[in-house]
């Protein structure tokens, strides 16, 4: 457990993150007031930049934390054998729970930063825990005969998650229509993986 200056630094970072998330929820990232964030966190404005070089870095930190949370919950869920539909349905449920925690506007800001052309690129998809877990689901389904043998688990996982994020970003808030769109998306994705 960190002590002294390191503990204080981490506490300041947490206060700034909490204040920034609240400000982003209220105004959106683009219109967020960094002075208000610093004031709420009880620090000088420059302290924000020490911890988060840009407004986008707040969203990257938030995304990392949310991805870790989803991965932990998904790992617990997958501790017992599950079929592909059940596993992907739980993945969707956990991503919708993240959207609920963040709110639609902040969720869309996180997605925008995730898919931003200015985001540092990495070829190492294994660093994305949710992708790794979905790849594993598809590999297990393929090995059990639930998915087509020629299916590429990595590309299938990426296509599934990209499609889900895109659909969530553009569908309306109308609950019955959105639920139906999500169910149809899930069914279509699974049918596309099934053996012929």
Q: For residue range 78-136, what is the model confidence (pLDDT) as tens digits?
A: 999 999 999 999 999 999 999 999 999 999 999 999 888 877 655 556 678 999 999 99
| Residues across the chain | 196
The pLDDT assigned to 72 comes to: 98
Is the pLDDT assigned to residue 180 strictly greater than 70? yes
Arithmetic mean of pLDDT, 61-77: 96
* Distance (Å) of CA 36 to CA 17, 26, 100, 188: 12, 12, 25, 45
Confidence of residue 151 (pLDDT cuts 50, 70, 90): confident
Span 14-42, pLDDT tens digits: 999 999 999 999 999 999 999 999 999 99
The average pLDDT across 63-77 equals: 96
- Residue 56 pLDDT > 70, yes or no? yes
At 189, the pLDDT band (50, 70, 90 cuts) reads: very high
Per-residue confidence at 60, pLDDT binned at 50, 70, 90? very high
Q: Which residue has the higher pLDDT, 32 or 151?
A: 32
The answer regarding whether domain 1-53 maps to CATH 1.20.1270.360 reads no
Q: What's the mean pLDDT in 173-196?
A: 91
Question: Which tens digit of pLDDT belongs to each residue from 11-21?
Answer: 999 999 999 99
Listed in sequence order, the residues at least 6 apart from 23 whose beta carbon sits closer than 8 Å to its beta carbon are 32, 33, 36, 37, 40
CATH of region 55-193, choose from 1.10.357, 2.40.160, 1.10.3470, 1.10.540: 1.10.357
What average pLDDT does the segment 138-157 reach? 93
The pTM for the full model equals 0.90
Q: What is the pLDDT of residue 120?
A: 61
pLDDT per residue as tens digits for the range 122-141: 555 667 899 999 999 999 99
Q: Strand, helix or coil at 146?
A: coil
Instruction: Quickly list DSSP for 94-114.
Output: HHHHHHHHH-HHHHHHHHHHH
Ranges of each domain in the chain:
1-53, 55-193
* The pair of three-digit structure tokens given for residue 116, joined into one six-digit string: 């931003």
pLDDT of residue 125: 60
Say how far apart CA 97 and CA 113 lie, in whole Å.
Answer: 19
């Amino acid at each position: 457990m960190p002590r002294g200056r390191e503990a204080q630094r981490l506490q300041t970072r947490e206060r700034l993150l909490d204040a920034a998330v609240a400000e982003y929820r209220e105004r959106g990232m683009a219109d967020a007031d960094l002075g208000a964030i610093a004031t709420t966190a009880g620090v000088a404005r420059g302290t924000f930049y020490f911890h988060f070089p840009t407004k986008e870095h707040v969203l990257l930190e938030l995304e990392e934390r949310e991805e870790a949370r989803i991965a932990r919950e998904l790992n617990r869920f997958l501790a017992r054998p599950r079929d592909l539909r059940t596993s992907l349905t739980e993945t969707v449920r956990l991503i919708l729970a993240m959207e609920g925690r963040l709110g639609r506007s902040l969720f869309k800001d996180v997605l925008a930063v995730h898919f931003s052309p200015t985001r540092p690129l990495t070829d190492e998809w294994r660093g994305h825990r949710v992708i790794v877990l979905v790849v594993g689901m598809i590999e297990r389904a393929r090995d059990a005969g639930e998915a087509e043998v020629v299916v590429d688990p990595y590309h299938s996982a990426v296509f599934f998650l990209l499609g889900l994020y895109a659909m969530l970003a553009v569908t309306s808030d109308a609950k019955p229509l959105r639920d139906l769109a999500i169910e149809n998306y899930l069914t279509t994705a699974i049918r596309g993986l099934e053996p012929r």
